Amino acid sequence: MVNVVEDYLARDRAHKEGQRNLERRRAQETQSPNEPGADGWPKGRTRPKLRPIECPECGGDAAETEKGNVVCSSCAQAAEWGRFHDKMRQERLEKAGLLKEPLSKYTLDSFEADTAALRRARRVVVDWLMGFPYSHGESVLLWSDGYGVGKTHLAHAVHRELLITGSSVTFFFVADMLSSIRDSYNRDSEETEKGIVSRARSGNVLVLDDLAKEHVTERGRPWFHDLMLRIVDYRYNTGRSMLITSNASPDRFGEIVGGAAASRLYRMLGGRIVDMSGPDWRMK
Ligand SMILES: Nc1ncnc2c1ncn2[C@@H]1O[C@H](COP(=O)(O)OP(=O)(O)O)[C@@H](O)[C@H]1O
Ligand SMILES: [Mg+2]
Ligand SMILES: [Zn+2]
């Protein structure tokens, strides 16, 4: 009898002990470092480092694309930006007419500097371009006594370089600008004089190609002086650069653009005035 009771109690103890052990084990398992985490690897264990593919561009961790190219994500992104910028650049050059002849030939590379004057012209222009975008209205004048020395060639080369770097440039052949203004007085003209002036005021750089005394008659002179002052004064005050080409020497600028505009121009030009006078390229 006693044996039966003791036997029962012993089995009951063993059963309870077993229950407790099971509970302890379960509790331990939930805190166990072997419990798998969200990524499928045991918690608290560092994931074994898989041997990455090296990016051929930068040596970073790369992956193979569907097309089988090996590239890292930052190099892939940089390449995409590059393609985007190339496209924008082409569009800007196309819009400016610089992809078609003859303007497509007017580049810095194709400008031959075989005299001291032309070498200086090239150097002044390149140094000036290197100063962007930290310039404050610094401007350049390329002038010569005669024609065919490469003023327009350099002006378009500058135009191209600035568009390539993403600067905003307004290019005016002065004679065309004036005839556009004259046309704007027609009732059915799309452009207004005000619109043309604001175009000439806009952009980081304004190129005025072929500024000359012959643009206006004696009677039209005060009007032309006023037009130039409206453009130059605005650009002077807002620190926006200009590149001017002319067949007149700068000491005649007072006469051509008027005293007020000329004095602001001289300040903007500083020492960047180049006399390119020499033999006509077309006669060579
Ligand atoms: N230094 C030069 N290097 C290369 N081509 C030149 C040079 N100077 C003039 N030319 C070429 O001669 C032609 C006339 O030059 P252009 O720039 O229009 O002269 P400008 O504006 O001084 O009258 C253009 O076809 C131009 O490309
Ligand atoms: Mg010219
Ligand atoms: Zn890379």
State the pLDDT confidence band at 137, using cuts at 50, 70 and 90: very high
Domain assignment of residue 111, given as a range: 96-276
Lowest pLDDT segment from 43-52, 187-196, 263-272: 43-52
Please give the C-alpha separations between residue 59 and each of 51, 76, 77, in angstroms, as whole numbers.
13, 13, 15
Within a domain: residue 127?
Answer: yes
pLDDT digits (tens, 9 = 90+) for 40-61: 766 666 666 666 788 988 988 8
Q: Residue 35: is its pLDDT beyond 80? A: no
Distance 263 CA to ligand 1 centre (A): 29
Dump the DSSP string for 178-247: HHHHHHHTSTT-SS-HHHHHHHHH-SSEEEEEEE-GGGS-TTTHHHHHHHHHHHHHHHHHHT-EEEEEES
Look over the chain and give the mean of its residue pLDDT values, rounded to a whole number: 89
What is the structure's pLDDT at 28?
Answer: 65
Within a domain: residue 167?
Answer: yes
Helix (H) or strand (E) holding 95: helix 73-95
Is 223 near ligand 1, meaning CB less than 6 Å away? Answer: no
Q: Residue 88: is its pLDDT beyond 90? A: yes
Within a domain: residue 257?
Answer: yes
Q: Residue 89: is its pLDDT beyond 70? A: yes
- Token readout for 216 is 């206006």
Within a domain: residue 3?
Answer: no
Is 280 near ligand 1, meaning CB less than 6 Å away? Answer: no
CA proximity to 76, closest of 85, 86, 64, 88: 64
The larger pLDDT score, comparing residue 24 to residue 29, is at: 24
Residues 83 and 74: their CA atoms lie apart, in Å, by 14
- Report percent pLDDT > 90 for the chain: 62
Ligand 1 mutation pick, 281, 283, 284, max ligand atoms within 8 A of CB? 281
Nearest CA to ligand 1 atom 8: 150
Within a domain: residue 24?
Answer: no
Within a domain: residue 202?
Answer: yes
Lowest pLDDT segment from 11-25, 92-106, 129-143: 11-25
Within a domain: residue 240?
Answer: yes
Map tokens 């080409």 to a residue. Answer: 245
- Report percent pLDDT > 70 for the chain: 90
CA proximity to 167, closest of 134, 199, 195: 134
Map tokens 């400008």 to a residue. Answer: 111
In the chain, how many domains are there? 1
Is 149 near ligand 1, meaning CB less than 6 Å away? Answer: yes
Within a domain: residue 192?
Answer: yes
Coil, helix or strand for 142?
A: strand
State the pLDDT confidence band at 80, using cuts at 50, 70 and 90: very high
State the pLDDT confidence band at 17, using cuts at 50, 70 and 90: confident
Distance 216 CA to ligand 1 centre (A): 25
**CATH number of the domain to which 253 belongs:** 3.40.50.300
